[in-house]
Amino acid sequence: MAEILSGNFPLVAAIVLMGIGLYILIFRRNLIKIVMGIAILSSSVNLFLVTLGYRTGGIAPIYTEAPEGPMVLPVVQALVLTNIVIAVATSALILSLVIRIYRHTGSLDSKKSRRMKG
Protein backbone atom coordinates (compact mmCIF):
# COMPACT_ATOMS: atom_id res chain seq x y z
CA MET A 1 0.00 0.00 0.00
CA ALA A 2 2.69 2.44 1.02
CA GLU A 3 4.65 1.56 -2.07
CA ILE A 4 1.74 2.21 -4.41
CA LEU A 5 1.05 5.47 -2.63
CA SER A 6 4.62 6.67 -2.85
CA GLY A 7 4.86 5.87 -6.54
CA ASN A 8 1.58 7.52 -7.41
CA PHE A 9 1.70 10.29 -4.87
CA PRO A 10 1.35 13.16 -7.38
CA LEU A 11 -1.64 11.46 -8.97
CA VAL A 12 -3.29 11.07 -5.57
CA ALA A 13 -2.53 14.72 -4.85
CA ALA A 14 -4.11 15.71 -8.17
CA ILE A 15 -7.29 13.77 -7.36
CA VAL A 16 -7.42 15.28 -3.86
CA LEU A 17 -7.00 18.76 -5.34
CA MET A 18 -9.78 18.06 -7.79
CA GLY A 19 -11.99 17.00 -4.89
CA ILE A 20 -11.17 20.21 -3.04
CA GLY A 21 -11.92 22.28 -6.13
CA LEU A 22 -15.27 20.61 -6.70
CA TYR A 23 -16.07 20.87 -2.98
CA ILE A 24 -15.49 24.63 -3.11
CA LEU A 25 -17.55 24.97 -6.27
CA ILE A 26 -20.42 23.03 -4.73
CA PHE A 27 -20.54 24.23 -1.14
CA ARG A 28 -19.07 27.74 -1.09
CA ARG A 29 -21.49 30.44 -2.13
CA ASN A 30 -18.97 33.29 -2.12
CA LEU A 31 -18.26 34.33 -5.70
CA ILE A 32 -14.54 34.96 -5.06
CA LYS A 33 -14.26 31.50 -3.58
CA ILE A 34 -15.87 30.07 -6.69
CA VAL A 35 -13.09 31.68 -8.72
CA MET A 36 -10.58 30.08 -6.36
CA GLY A 37 -12.32 26.74 -6.79
CA ILE A 38 -11.92 26.95 -10.55
CA ALA A 39 -8.27 27.86 -10.14
CA ILE A 40 -7.71 24.85 -7.87
CA LEU A 41 -9.53 22.57 -10.32
CA SER A 42 -7.29 23.90 -13.07
CA SER A 43 -4.16 23.29 -11.00
CA SER A 44 -5.25 19.76 -10.23
CA VAL A 45 -5.57 18.98 -13.93
CA ASN A 46 -2.19 20.63 -14.54
CA LEU A 47 -0.57 18.53 -11.81
CA PHE A 48 -2.14 15.40 -13.25
CA LEU A 49 -0.84 16.19 -16.73
CA VAL A 50 2.67 17.04 -15.59
CA THR A 51 2.83 13.82 -13.60
CA LEU A 52 1.93 11.85 -16.69
CA GLY A 53 4.89 13.35 -18.52
CA TYR A 54 7.43 12.27 -15.91
CA ARG A 55 9.87 9.60 -17.07
CA THR A 56 12.44 8.19 -14.66
CA GLY A 57 15.90 9.19 -15.86
CA GLY A 58 14.62 11.47 -18.60
CA ILE A 59 15.97 14.99 -18.87
CA ALA A 60 14.21 18.18 -19.82
CA PRO A 61 14.10 18.68 -23.60
CA ILE A 62 16.26 21.81 -23.70
CA TYR A 63 19.30 21.27 -25.87
CA THR A 64 21.23 24.26 -24.56
CA GLU A 65 24.11 22.75 -22.62
CA ALA A 66 22.08 19.69 -21.79
CA PRO A 67 23.59 16.65 -20.06
CA GLU A 68 23.76 13.43 -22.04
CA GLY A 69 20.78 11.13 -21.73
CA PRO A 70 17.30 10.41 -23.07
CA MET A 71 15.05 13.44 -23.35
CA VAL A 72 11.33 13.41 -22.64
CA LEU A 73 8.80 14.37 -25.29
CA PRO A 74 7.49 17.70 -23.99
CA VAL A 75 3.88 17.28 -25.07
CA VAL A 76 2.32 17.46 -21.60
CA GLN A 77 4.49 20.42 -20.70
CA ALA A 78 3.13 22.26 -23.71
CA LEU A 79 -0.41 21.30 -22.73
CA VAL A 80 0.08 22.53 -19.17
CA LEU A 81 1.54 25.84 -20.33
CA THR A 82 -1.44 26.36 -22.62
CA ASN A 83 -3.81 25.52 -19.81
CA ILE A 84 -2.06 27.98 -17.48
CA VAL A 85 -2.47 30.75 -20.05
CA ILE A 86 -6.13 29.90 -20.46
CA ALA A 87 -6.60 29.79 -16.68
CA VAL A 88 -5.12 33.29 -16.37
CA ALA A 89 -7.55 34.64 -18.97
CA THR A 90 -10.47 32.86 -17.33
CA SER A 91 -9.67 34.15 -13.84
CA ALA A 92 -9.21 37.71 -15.06
CA LEU A 93 -12.55 37.61 -16.84
CA ILE A 94 -14.41 36.02 -13.92
CA LEU A 95 -12.94 38.49 -11.45
CA SER A 96 -14.03 41.45 -13.53
CA LEU A 97 -17.51 39.96 -13.78
CA VAL A 98 -17.58 39.43 -10.01
CA ILE A 99 -16.70 43.08 -9.45
CA ARG A 100 -19.50 44.11 -11.79
CA ILE A 101 -21.98 41.81 -10.07
CA TYR A 102 -20.97 43.26 -6.71
CA ARG A 103 -21.50 46.78 -8.01
CA HIS A 104 -24.95 45.97 -9.33
CA THR A 105 -26.28 43.85 -6.49
CA GLY A 106 -24.12 44.76 -3.52
CA SER A 107 -23.56 41.14 -2.61
CA LEU A 108 -20.93 38.49 -3.21
CA ASP A 109 -23.21 35.62 -2.25
CA SER A 110 -24.28 33.50 -5.20
CA LYS A 111 -27.68 33.04 -3.58
CA LYS A 112 -28.32 36.68 -2.74
CA SER A 113 -26.90 38.18 -5.92
CA ARG A 114 -28.94 36.06 -8.31
CA ARG A 115 -31.66 37.76 -10.31
CA MET A 116 -32.78 34.85 -12.44
CA LYS A 117 -34.36 31.61 -11.38
CA GLY A 118 -37.19 29.32 -12.40
Partner 1 sequence: MTLIVESGYEFWNPIVWLITFAVVMVIVYFFRKRGEEKYKKGEEQAQIFLCGEEVPAAEQRQVRGGNAYWGFFETLKEYYDGVVRMHTGIVNDYVVWFVAVTAISAIILLIVKLVG
Partner 2 sequence: MSKIVRTVANQLMLFVLVFGLYVIVHGHVTPGGGFQGGAVIASGVVMLIVAFGSGQIKKSLRERRLSVVESSAALLFILVAFIGIGTVFFYNFLVGSRIFGDIPPTGTNPGNIWTGGVIPLMNVAVGLKVMAGLSAAVLALALFSGGEEIE
Partner 3 sequence: MATLIEHSSILIIAVPLLIAFLTPLIGMASKKARNVVVISSLAFVAFLVFTLARDVILNGIHIYTLGAMSPSLTIPEGIMRPVRIILEVDGVSVFMGIVVAIVSLVAVIYSLSAMKGETGQNKFYTLLLLMVGGTFGMVFTGDLFNLFVFLEITSISGAALIASRTRFADSQEGGFKYIVVSAVASLMVLFAISLLYAQYNLLNIGALAAAMQYTMLDRIALVILISAFAMKLGGVPMHMWLSDTYSVAPASITVLLITTSQASMYALMRMCFILYGVSLDLAVVGWIVIAIGILSMFIGVTMAVRQTDITRLIAYNCVCEAGFMLVGLGVGIAVLGDATVLRTYGTMAINGAIFHMINHALFEGLLFLVAGAIFYRIGTRDINQMGGLGHTMKLTAVFFLLGALASSGLPPFNGFASKILIYESVYQFNPILTIIGILVSIITLAVFVKAFFSAFTGPSLPKYEDVKEVPKTMIAAMTIFAVIIIIFGLFPGLVVDWIVRPATDALVNQASYIDAIRGAMP
The binder of 47, among partner 3, partner 2, partner 1, none, by C-beta within 5 to 8 A per type, is none
- Between the CA of residue 107 and those of 44, 57, 110, 115, what are the distances in Å? 29, 52, 8, 12
- Between the CA of residue 57 and those of 6, 34, 100, what are the distances in Å? 17, 39, 50
CB 79 within 8 A of CB 48: no
CB 59 within 8 A of CB 69: yes
The binder of 94, among partner 3, partner 1, partner 2, none, by C-beta within 5 to 8 A per type, is partner 3
Identify the residue among 54, 66, 104, 112 touching partner 3 (CB under 8 A).
104
Give strand pairing partners of 71: 59
Helix, strand or coil, per DSSP, at residue 14: helix
Considering just the CA atoms, what is the radius of gyration of the chain in Å?
19
Decide if residue 88 touches partner 2 (CB under 8 A).
Answer: yes
Binding footprint of partner 1 on the chain (CB under 8 A):
22, 25-29, 34, 110-111, 114, 116-118
Binding footprint of partner 2 on the chain (CB under 8 A):
60, 62-68, 81, 84-85, 88, 92, 95-96, 99
Binding footprint of partner 3 on the chain (CB under 8 A):
18, 25, 31, 34, 38, 41-42, 45, 48-49, 52, 73, 75-76, 79, 82-83, 86, 89-90, 93-94, 97-98, 100-101, 104-105, 113-116, 118
